[in-house]
Amino acid sequence: MAKNNLQNFPVLGSKPESIIEGFSFSKNKSPQAVISGRKYSIFNSNDYLGLRFHPKLIAAEHSGSKKYGTGPGAVRFISGTLSVHHKLEQSLAEFHKRQDAIIFSSAFAANFSSISALANDQVLIVSDELNHRSIIDGIRVSNLDQQNRQIYRHLDFNHLSQILTQNIGKFQRCLIISDGVFSMLGEIVDLSKLRQITDQFDSQYPQGVLLYIDDAHGIGVMGDTGRGTEEYCGATADILVGTLGKAFGCDGGYIVGDRQLITYLREKAASYIYSNNLSPGTASAAIASINLVSSPAGKRLLTKLHQNIKLLNSTHAIKPVVLGDPEKTLALKQKLFDRGMLVTAINYPVVPKGRDEIRIQISASHTAAEIKSLLTLI
């Protein structure tokens, strides 16, 4: 028998994740994580509106599971399309004022399979160099030649325009891809400028130019009603990717757009066709979350989140503390942990070398006192 060499895989050196045993709830604090019997303030969660513990979502999840069972039972095209899934897609389309929506097991799965579904040798894909890993992998699995997949410097729209100009006449269609909010830095793309460039070059490619935006960290955070980077910038994408696992407090990913696009993805996107859908309970909770975000109660949560963001002198709920040194970053994380603050050290390869950071994430559930306490400790 051949020798097993699995023990030779390298270890990058970061400490294992803290295992959360449960949560503690009190009147004057946000939900706290319980780790080894001790309570910690949570500053590394994507739960931007604090909805994952909301009674309406929990009740909807219970009701959905009771009615439909704990799982979908099959992939969508066999017997896994339940009425609750159809209703969720309708709710998402209405929320974003689009014709249709398609849901995936995660936003990663949505990017991973939809980009490859939209790619062929007549398509040019141009991507921001700091786009999310799911976008990078979606482009990689498309098996395109190097000339079909090009990268523009981060938020450098002049460079983007140069690439588009140089490739006129070489491709039938172009797909411009960008994060709406870049998750490591909390930077917001100028979507109105991207829309302007897309429209400028649209007639230069026979099948047009499409703007593809992953707004996982923008939806439920940005804009007066939480419609994300589109609302914040006053511009729209042709293909909009979102997640139910961040501000909506649930799980899963989705894409909204024109009905013809969504119908095409149902026939072509591999992770939709060959992977189980959301559990009925999760889909039910997501519908309740969308309704809540669209209500006056949701508006109050969004206002509270925006107030908390201002306490950090930030424009987004993500606020990085960039130290650049991995040892110092891990040391600061540990010091904060010792004082009851749960944060995450982001190191290479998640970020480039020399960009090590503590990523602080703010929620509507945080109190001003908790945020000020964290800032004082840092």
Q: Could you tell me which of 141, 261, 163 has the C-alpha nearest to residue 210?
A: 261
Degrees, nearest 5: CA angle 147-153-157: 100
Which entry of 54, 132, 246, 319 is annotated as an active-site residue?
246
User: Which H or E element spans position 184?
Assistant: none
CA gap 240, 211 in Å, rounded: 8
CA gap 182, 152 in Å, rounded: 15
Strand, coil or helix: 135? helix
Active site residue 314: no
Task: Identify the residue whose tokens are 């060959």.
Answer: 274
Structure tokens at 81: 């399309």
Active site residue 24: no
Active site residue 271: no
Which entry of 217, 304, 319, 333 is annotated as an active-site residue?
217
Q: Indicate the DSSP class of residue 339.
A: T
Task: Identify the residue whose tokens are 């997640």.
Answer: 243
CA gap 58, 68 in Å, rounded: 15
Which entry of 183, 284, 289, 365 is annotated as an active-site residue?
183
CA gap 37, 18 in Å, rounded: 12
Beta strand extents in the chain (DSSP E only): 22-24, 32-35, 38-42, 100-104, 123-128, 149-152, 173-179, 181-182, 187-188, 209-214, 239-243, 253-257, 318-322, 341-342, 344-346, 357-361
How many of the other CB atoms lie within 10 Å of CB of 267?
A: 10
* Residues taking part in catalysis: 183, 217, 246
